[in-house]
Every structure is written in C-alpha cells, then in structure tokens.
Amino acid sequence: MEALDIARWQFGITTVYHFMLVPLTLGLGMAIVVMQTIWVRTGDEKFLRMVKFWGKLYLINFILGVATGLVQEFQFGMAWSEYSRFVGDVFGAPLALEGLLAFFAESTFIGIWIFGWGRLRKGLHLAALYCAVIGSWFSAYFIIVANSWMQHPVGVELVDGRPVMVDLWAVLTNNTALAAFTHTIFGSLIVAGMFLIGISWYHLWRRRHDGIDTTDASGRVVIGEAPSVAGRDKADHGVWLWSLRFGAVLAIVAFGGTGITGDWQGKLMYEQQPMKMASAEAACHTGSAFSVLSIGDPGSTDCRDVITLIEIPGVLGFLGTGEWGADMPGITDLEPHYVDQYGETIPDDELYGSFAGTEVNYVPPMWVTYWGFRLMIGLGAITAFGAVVALWLTRRGTVPTSPWIMRLAILGILAPFAGNIAGWIFTEIGRQPFVVAPNPDPSGIDGVFMFTAAAVSPGVSAGELLFSVIALTGVYAVLMVVELFLLAKYVRGGVASAMPELAPHAPDDGAGDDHDASD
C-alpha cells in the first residue's frame, strides 16, 4: 500500500473510533438534562436515581470521548500536513472557538456538576449540567463547521493558492453545517434512546427473572417489595420503566428528526456535491428513479458494472429537488463536467508528489456510498421500529420474561451507533477524490479545492505511517476495552453502584455522593 492509502485508513479508523463515543455523549447528556430537570421540579426520587445511574455511564463515556479526541488531533499534523496548511486559516477560528468556548465550558461545568452534588443549591447544580451539555453541543457544532467547510467551502478568498478567510460568519452559518449539525444531533438522540431502552430492558428483565417483580393472574405487574439488595428496591422499577419508555419516545421522535434534516441535506448535496449524490444512488444515467437494490462489482467505480434490480420511478427526483420525477444528473453525465472544471489528471506540480500527472477518478467508491447511505437509513429505521415495539411490549409496566427479547434489546444498542458511522463513512468517502470539495454555487470561489492525494504529508514513508496506524489502533482498542469494561460494570451494578449512599438511608436533596465522584 502507498503512504496515501495508509494515511486514509488511519484517519478512517481513528475517527470512526472517536465517533463510537461522541453520539452517546451528545445524546445521553440531553436525556439526563431532562431527568434532572424533572427531579428538581417534582422532587420525585425516582428521577434522582436515574440521573445518578445514567450520569455515571455518561461520565465514563465522556472521559473516553475526550481521550479518543485528543489522540485524534495528532494525525492532522503527522499524516496530513499539506491539508493542515491549506485549511489552517479557515479552521483556526472555529477550532479555537471549539477549544475555548465549548470544551472549556463543557469540562468546567461537568466538574461543577460532579462535585456540586449536595454542595450547590439544586437549581444551580442543574444549571451546571445544562451548561455542560449545551457546551458539548457547541463543541460538536464547531467541529462540524470545519468538516462542512471541506464539503462546501464558503467565506474565503484565494491568496497565493491558499484560502484565506474573509467572512467568519459565512463559515459559521454554512448551510451544510446547519443541516449536518441538526442531523448529527438527531442521530445522537437515537443512540441515546436505544441505549436507555436496552439497558433498562435488561434490568426490568432481571427483576422478573429474580422474582422481584411478578405478574398476577390478570397480567398486572406486582412490583416486588424491597429485598435487602441495595438498589433493587421498589423505586428502581420506576427508574427502568420510565427510562425505557422515555428512550423509546426519544428514538422515535429523533428518527423523524433525521428524516427531516436528512432530506434537507440530500437537497444540499444535490447542489453542492452532485457526484456524491449520484454515486450514493448508483445512478449512472440521468433520471429520476430511486434504486432500491442495485448490485455490482464491489470496489468498482465503473458504471458498466452496476445492475439495478429494483427501482421506484420518480422518487430520486423528489429526494434531490422536492419535485416528483425531476431528473437528477447521473454519473456518466456528470463526469465530463468534473473533468472539464478540475482537470483530467492531478496537476503536474511537485506539491502532488508521486501523484502528479496521474489520472483522477471523480467517482467515489460506489458500493461504499450506496450501501453506506442505505445502512444509515435502515439501521435508524430498525431502531425506531424496535422502539415502537418496546412501547407496545411494556404497556403493562414490565418486559416479557423471554431472555431472547432481552438479548435483542441489548444487541439493538449497537444499531444506531452503526447507523451513525455508516452516515459518516458515506459522507467522507463520498467526498473523494477531494479532501476539500469544490463549491459549485455561484458564490463558490474558483480554485478552492484540494485533492486528497495532495493533502498527505510529503516525506512520510509508508512504513512510518503503518507503524503509527498500528500504534494508534492499539491505543484505541485499549480505550475501547476500558470503555466497555467500565460500562458493563456499572450497568450490572444498577442504581446502587452509582449511589452507594442509597443502601443505608434514603437521600435528602441528593447529598453525599462526593466520595465516589472519581471512580
């Protein structure tokens, strides 16, 4: 493999790892905000227990999210120095804002939240959580601004072959970023929803399995009297049931949200990156039919290899433009335009190293974009459907005794995570062969684009990169094992593991948690 390929694999692997943690931070944070708000307003102890339990998992995930993010930053300078130089002037501002405003605020307020239990007034303590979670959303916004600029560069002028930012506001309000941010947030809420469902299901199931909760002859739940096992007393039944049903509603609503924002993104993509759209649909020729199933040679970017088995007329035009049956440009029709505008070969410039003069393929790997798009939607839809089923099955106040449904609910937690990753893989691989895609709008600036082949650090050898891939993948694998180990430990422990003070006495005002804040 060449250095470029290894560098691409490296970026892909590490950022996918990072994004296994990010959506849970973004989504679960908001769920806990809701729970703590209800607790502060009603004083219902059930909600305090929820905040403590889910809050513990949130913190574990947050810390590992930060760790994976930090490791992530190294590769910009190491493997992608030309890219870093090219985008430096533009990314400086949003990433500084990310660091200063968002990350600083986010971690400070998380600290206040952790150590404020029992020390701050309830309202103030809740405000700290709001600030932390909103901070992480801002953080997400600024990083998406950077990514969206690579999909659709705006607000710059070309000076000596490098984009220089002239309009920070245009960069911050890039329509691509607004759509991608809202879409990502909804995607993250689906993750949180399914996480709540799966884990709560397990606990409700265990209560039945251990005979703590039973059902009477008419099928009504009889909630067990508190046994001496801490954290599995009466109040916890409500913790799991409420969390489960809330998670289900969250997942269903958020899936609707991804539909609305995804539709917006599809329309932007049709204008901004028509080739990505066409290859996501394996649409070789101009037309308006939506492919339900196309097959071809994996890895091929050649239209002759695509066989469309099932298609629905009209739908693609509607997705892209809002107009039923409107024609969407296909790959074979787009290609000559790309060749015209951006050249048949990578320019013969020393900047491009060994790639100078090689032919450019403007069609991204079609099977990845095509299946990435369908996996994203399919896994989201499966989750939303699962959430509807979960609402139905728990309508009597508990879960069925079947261990298989319980296992399915736990396994289901993975689906929206995988859906999010599929969405990113589609977005990032569909951007190829550009690392910074050209902006074709009238407002687009000529010459502001960069080929991925030109972005990689010159002078870094394949061997060095391979070593760093192995090292980084190793580090991430260890972090992932730590994450799963800690999550599993606290999930199994139930509420009691997050609230050791619960065992001897009922909490007043949530005081007394400070001694376990660091574990």
Give the number of other Cβ atoms within 10 Å of residue 490's Cβ. Answer: 20
Number of residues that bind ligand HEB (CB under 6 A): 45
Tell which positions 439-478 bind ligand HEB, by CB under 6 A: 452, 455
Strand partners, 221: 215
CB 461 within 8 A of CB 3: yes
- Which x/- pattern over 54-83 shows residues binding ligand HDD (rule: CB under 6 A)? --------x--xx--xx-xx----------
CB 515 within 8 A of CB 117: no
Using the contact rule CB under 6 A, the part of the chain among 198-206, 218-226, 260-268, 497-505 near ligand HEB is: 260-268
Q: Which two tokens stand for residue 142?
A: 């600024």
Q: Which of 174, 200, 258, 294 contacts ligand HEB by CB under 6 A? A: 258
Compute the CA torsion angle 243, 248, 249, 251 (nearest 10 deg): 120
Burial class (CB in 10 A: 0-12, 13-18, 19+), 73: exposed
H or E segment to which residue 292 belongs: strand 290-295
Burial class (CB in 10 A: 0-12, 13-18, 19+), 410: middle
Tell me the C-alpha distance between 15 and 85, whole Å.
20
Say which entry of ligand HEB, ligand HDD, none residue 196 contacts (CB below 5 to 8 A, set by partner kind). Answer: none
Q: Do 498 and 490 touch, CB atoms closer than 8 A? A: yes
User: Which distant-in-sequence residues (6+ apart) come within 8 Å of 496 by Cβ?
Assistant: 229, 230, 231, 232, 502, 503
Q: Is 78 in the site for ligand HEB (CB under 6 A)?
A: no
Locate 447 and state its tokens: 């010459």
| Residue 184 sits in the site that holds ligand HEB (CB under 6 A) | yes
Looking at beta carbons only, is 151 or 497 nearer to ligand HEB? 151
Pick between residue 128 and residue 363 the one whose CB is nearest to ligand HEB.
Answer: 363
The pair of structure tokens assigned to 43 is 């004083």
Q: How many residues bind ligand HDD (CB under 6 A)?
A: 22
The residues in 371-430 that bind ligand HEB, with binding defined as CB under 6 A, are 376-377, 380, 416, 419-421, 423-425, 427-430
Residue nearest to ligand HEB (CB): 380
Binding part of the chain for ligand HDD, among 140-148, 165-173, 246-254, 387-395 by CB under 6 A, reads 140-148
Is there binding between residue 455 and ligand HDD (CB under 6 A)? no
Residue choice 20, 140, 178, 192 for contact with ligand HDD (CB under 6 A): 140
Which of 513, 516, 423, 481 has its CA nearest to residue 67? 481
Residue 254 makes contact with ligand HDD by CB under 6 A: no
Selection from ligand HEB, ligand HDD, none that 380 binds (CB < 5 to 8 A by kind) is ligand HEB
What CA–CA distances, in Å, run from 301 to 127, 279, 283, 305, 327? 52, 9, 12, 8, 22
Q: State the residue for tokens 């606990």.
A: 203
Partner whose binding site includes residue 103, from ligand HDD, ligand HEB, none (CB under 5 to 8 Å by kind): ligand HDD
Q: Which of 38, 68, 65 is nearest to 50 (CA)?
A: 38
- Indicate the residue among 406 and 486 with the shorter CB distance to ligand HDD: 486
Report the interface residues with ligand HEB, using CB under 6 A: 8, 11-12, 15-16, 18-19, 80, 83, 143, 146-147, 151, 180, 183-184, 187, 190, 255, 258-259, 262-263, 265-266, 269, 276, 376-377, 380, 416, 419-421, 423-425, 427-430, 432, 435, 452, 455
Q: Which residues bind ligand HDD (CB under 6 A)?
A: 15, 18, 21-22, 25-26, 62, 65-66, 69-70, 72-73, 98-99, 103, 136, 139-140, 143-144, 184
